[in-house]
A and B are shown apart, each in its own frame.
Chain A
């Protein structure tokens, strides 16, 4: 048995920021992650982190407005205000801890332009900003001496007397199952990209945290809002950062036309991501594509600018599309990238379940609403990671632990033994692939009722097959076969939540664009959709008003 005041699940940016904030408040913190912290998917955030710095004449309200407009007015405006007001301190704080940022001529932090924003307020490190931040946070976690359970996997959350008070976990290296007792648990496990195939997300993004919370009755919010990034490679779904367009790259179709002129005459390639992805998909659907792709054209930027600021994605193009962006346009298409929805949480990370906090992509605060702006995700992880860590620390300070012990792991032990004992021919890989394809076919850039219904029944069928899945590896040591099978269970729960929310929202807003209901309907649908699991397998859908403070919904054009 292990014991911590605050247990953080996930060691990406949100998780480590949370753990660091909590340990700075003087409580005992443990951080658990199924991969080593620097392997976390925060690494993959390339372009930068947004912050409006008042002393540079960029008021936070402008950042807030861009964020809210980008969200198609589904973001809670009080939460957006918190994020935008605290952005500067968070970016400067990370710089002071050691993050290397690109500078301007005066030696101060430099900025670049990013999509959906009127100001250049994106701070960046070449095109590996996420990696630079993640490694520095790991350094700080080492410095603070936080206990990190590297390569430990969370099987379930423990709830006693209506409070989340620990987790059942498995040490991957040995296969041993343990209970970790905690006064507060912060969920920071990131996204669920692998529910879709292809996706820009890493293979570890399997929605564990959302499913774990969902399973113990914490509602998930706005799960239908799945972002498709405008520039991904066809071969493996790899991301080509928005920085390419921020630095001045064009999007062209098969005729060489800069087609964004017809969709977003003012912001062109730097309109919101949902707008650009829809435009691309329309071009592709109407036949102005080459093999299902349009093109990202950066040739006019010249080799030096590309090498200094976009070297990593240049390499990705060479490696995975056989195209050097210095010499030729890179074929790209919209690809699943980010989950705006997640565990319903407030600005201090509090979820509907006492003792359980959530921050980062796993949470829905909601600051991204129907569409997240590029470079707002890193900001989200840091601001709400810190706030949840601080709140969880304060809450835990004068509390006593619930009396849970190793017996609380019995259910998980039995279910894992059941999986290992099963014989048959059903492979987890096939089910995962079919799930991903189903979601990518029916819940992509454009959706309609019949497609989503089809996906729903397909997921039910896959769930049946999942109950017969066989784990070939029966051993205890580093049994990844077992882990992937457990993750597939989480993914099926996430898919269920996404589909039921999507079927519920009978309008088009942000990333949720229905060809059968193409208009935004503020009168009936300016609200959040919550999915809650009640009992075994039953779902309950609820609506929640959107918090509007000073920015009334308007027609959205770029």
Chain B
């Protein structure tokens, strides 16, 4: 069957300003991937099309790009699947949140800078063992789920936080950080968690799930970030707004069986935190205008003791 593929083109060496879409008509079959199509374009139609690709089997991480608006690996995305899902067309653009170098090639250097920032190497603080470290198979298999990450950048491309704050370490680097924090052979957990607790780290994720959605290897970066938050709080890093927010949320629900929305910001920021309280003022006004003001007198729900029992059970289990 014949398919039209619209490819985003940009060449800094040409006189054409900015990027534009170019359509290519190509013949594909049921098993053809987007990468097959792009390779066909560059080998048979237009040799000037630039893209990174190598292994063709979702292991090298070279070919993450936006296909019909979402980050994917071109090599394991079948054209028929895309056609079924979408409006019958295929559009290919470079990965997001990174500067375009040419056509579908983006600048990965900020990505690697952030990976370097988490000091991604094992840091044991004990004499090396004579043979291998003794470790539990389940622990290692758990880590293998994170080591599956091929650093393709799909999660970074579609991360909604990076879209507004370039300082965020991002899902890939944070998942990598988790890999070391959770490794029984690594002894630098406390220092690592301290660094991750800072601005740009684990508390800047908004849990939008995009990274989970687009990850081609099911690494589930967001859950790794949440696990890092738990570990950070367990290690006593409880002073950030994020940690205080999490603690206040849980305490308030335990107390009355449901969330006291007026108390939440006060406990998170502190009543005498004038700057933050001031910032909340417009939010309060808007919620009054829209009829969304939480009840001034917050009452416990009936059966609150059952909710408390759930909390106790969870605490006992830990």
Contact = CB atoms under 8 A, between A and B. Distances in A.
Interface of A: 35-36, 38-41, 43-44, 55, 92, 95-98, 100-110, 125-126, 128, 131-132, 135-136, 139-140, 142-143, 173, 202-204, 235-236, 238-239, 308, 312, 315-316, 319-322, 427-430, 432-433, 470-473, 475-481, 484
A125 B144 contact: yes
Contacts of A132: 144, 147
Nearest to B10: A477
Given A308-B141, A428-B43, A107 B11 contact: no
Given A203-B54, A481-B48, A475 B14 contact: yes
| Most A-side CB within 10 Å, residue of B51, B55, B76 | B55
Interface in B40-64: 42-44, 46-48, 50-62
A247 B78 CA distance: 29
B20 interface: no
A481 B13 contact: no
Nearest to B128: A96
Contacts of B131: 55, 92, 108
A483 to B, nearest CB: 10
A319 B13 CA distance: 37
B46 A98 contact: no
B141 A236 contact: no
A429 B44 contact: yes
B132 interface: yes
A480 B42 CA distance: 10
B63 to A, nearest CB: 10
B132 A108 contact: yes
7 contacts: A43-B55, A44-B59, A98-B122, A100-B143, A103-B140, A472-B46, A480-B51
A104 B50 CA distance: 46
Contacts of B183: 98, 100
Contact of B56 (A36, A40, A236): A236
Given A55-B131, A102-B144, 9 more contacts: A39-B62, A96-B132, A98-B185, A102-B141, A131-B148, A203-B56, A320-B31, A427-B43, A475-B11
Contacts, number: 174
A74 to B, nearest CB: 29
A143 B61 contact: no
The 3 A-B pairs at the shortest CB distance, nearest first, are namely A429-B43, A98-B122, A475-B13
B303 interface: no
Contacts of B132: 92, 95-96, 101, 108-109
Contacts of A477: 11-13, 101-102
A235 B31 contact: yes
Given A39-B61, A131-B59, A239-B57, A102 B137 contact: yes
A48 B57 CA distance: 18
A128 B59 CA distance: 9
Given A107-B134, A143-B121, A238 B43 contact: no
A480 B46 CA distance: 12
Contact of B102 (A103, A427, A478): A478
A175 to B, nearest CB: 9
Nearest to A91: B132
A469 to B, nearest CB: 10
A430 B147 CA distance: 38
Chain B contact surface mostly: loop
A139 to B, nearest CB: 4
B120 interface: yes
A316 B60 contact: no
B134 A108 contact: yes
Nearest to A198: B56
B151 interface: yes
Nearest to B129: A96
Nearest to A472: B47
B1 interface: no
A258 to B, nearest CB: 27
| Most A-side CB within 10 Å, residue of B76, B112, B131, B132 | B132
Contact of A39 (B47, B60, B134, B135): B60
B116 interface: yes
A198 to B, nearest CB: 10
A202 B102 contact: no
Contact of A427 (B47, B120, B133): B47
B234 to A, nearest CB: 23
A323 to B, nearest CB: 11
A477 B201 CA distance: 34
Contacts of B90: none
Contacts of A484: 47
Contacts of B61: 38-39
A432 B43 CA distance: 9
B185 A429 contact: no
B48 A43 contact: no
Contacts of B143: 100
A525 B210 CA distance: 60
A107 B43 CA distance: 50
Contact of A103 (B57, B129, B137): B137
A36 B54 contact: no
A206 to B, nearest CB: 11
B2 interface: no
A103 B140 CA distance: 8
A126 B144 contact: yes
B136 interface: yes
Interface string B105-116: 100100010001
B150 interface: yes
Contact of B60 (A41, A95, A139, A236): A41
A295 B88 CA distance: 35
A5 B97 CA distance: 38
Given A96-B129, A135-B147, A320-B31, A478 B101 contact: yes
B62 A35 contact: yes
Contacts of B129: 96
Nearest to A109: B132
A92 B132 CA distance: 6
Given A103-B136, A142-B116, A98 B47 contact: no
Given A101-B132, A110-B137, A204 B42 contact: no
Contacts of A432: 43
Contacts of A320: 31, 57
A476 B13 contact: yes
A473 B31 contact: no
A555 B294 CA distance: 86
Nearest to B122: A98
Contacts of B150: 38, 43, 131
A36 B120 CA distance: 16
Contacts of A472: 46-48
A43 B59 contact: yes
Nearest to A126: B144
A140 B76 CA distance: 30
Interface in B257-278: none
Contacts of A319: 58, 76, 78
Contact of A104 (B12, B103, B105, B137): B137
Nearest to B150: A131
Nearest to A46: B59
A100 B121 contact: no
A311 to B, nearest CB: 9
